[in-house]
């Protein structure tokens, strides 16, 4: 049964902390091992991708209220060095807490998304709350892929790593509170 209003930044920080704890035991060779025959999707690549999305959300609040999840760097040290990934994850946890986004869940924000490679990006209006929910869901999705990569090679993964809240527990659906507008 729900205990009160959701605090998405608490959820996001908890997920990042789970990832941080998991990375403490992943050897570099496993962290950088390609996920498939095309050489893509290493654990490090998934971690970098998750952190990029968190950074994009935080950057948008600081630099002009437009989120661009597609603006990210590939091949960074985060992808190849677990120690760098841990350090950046710790910093992002602190940054998320400091940003106090839970107080701004209804604030409007623009989201820029490339949906076709040969077309202009789609620009739409969202809210901080919706985008926090997206980043939480996106993080869980990539945690599930990280868990799969580790399990394929005999690695240990916590039972709740990579599972959405609706999967982890059976819960009673409650309607969303309507905002006064």
- Whether the CB-CB separation of 18 and 26 falls below 8 Å is answered with no
CA 178 → CA 3, 13, 181, distances in Å?
A: 18, 26, 9
Domain 8-102+131-168 belongs to what architecture?
Up-down Bundle (1.20)
**Each residue of 5-53: pLDDT tens digit?**
568 999 999 999 999 999 998 999 999 998 776 656 899 999 999 999 9
User: In the predicted model, is pLDDT for residue 56 greater than 50?
Assistant: yes
Residue 7 pLDDT: 84
Task: Say what the pTM is.
Answer: 0.87
* Residue 135 CB partners (closer than 8 Å, separation 6+): 12, 53, 54, 57
């Amino acid at each position: 049964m729900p205990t009160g209003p959701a605090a998405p930044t608490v959820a996001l920080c908890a997920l990042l902390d789970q990832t941080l704890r998991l990375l403490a035991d992943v050897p570099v060779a496993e962290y950088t091992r390609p996920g498939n025959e095309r050489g893509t999707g290493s654990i490090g690549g998934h971690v970098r991708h998750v952190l990029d999305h968190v950074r994009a959300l935080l950057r948008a609040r600081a630099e002009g209220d437009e989120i661009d999840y597609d603006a990210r760097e590939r091949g960074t040290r985060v992808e190849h060095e677990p120690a760098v990934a841990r350090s950046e994850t710790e910093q992002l946890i602190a940054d998320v807490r400091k940003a106090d986004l839970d107080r701004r869940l209804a604030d409007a924000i623009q989201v820029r998304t490339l949906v076709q490679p040969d077309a202009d990006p789609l620009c739409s209006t969202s809210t901080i709350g919706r985008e926090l929910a997206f980043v939480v869901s996106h993080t869980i999705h990539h945690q599930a892929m990280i868990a799969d990569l580790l399990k394929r090679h005999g690695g240990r993964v916590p039972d709740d790593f990579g599972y959405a809240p609706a999967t982890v527990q059976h819960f009673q659906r409650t309607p969303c509170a309507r905002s006064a507008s």
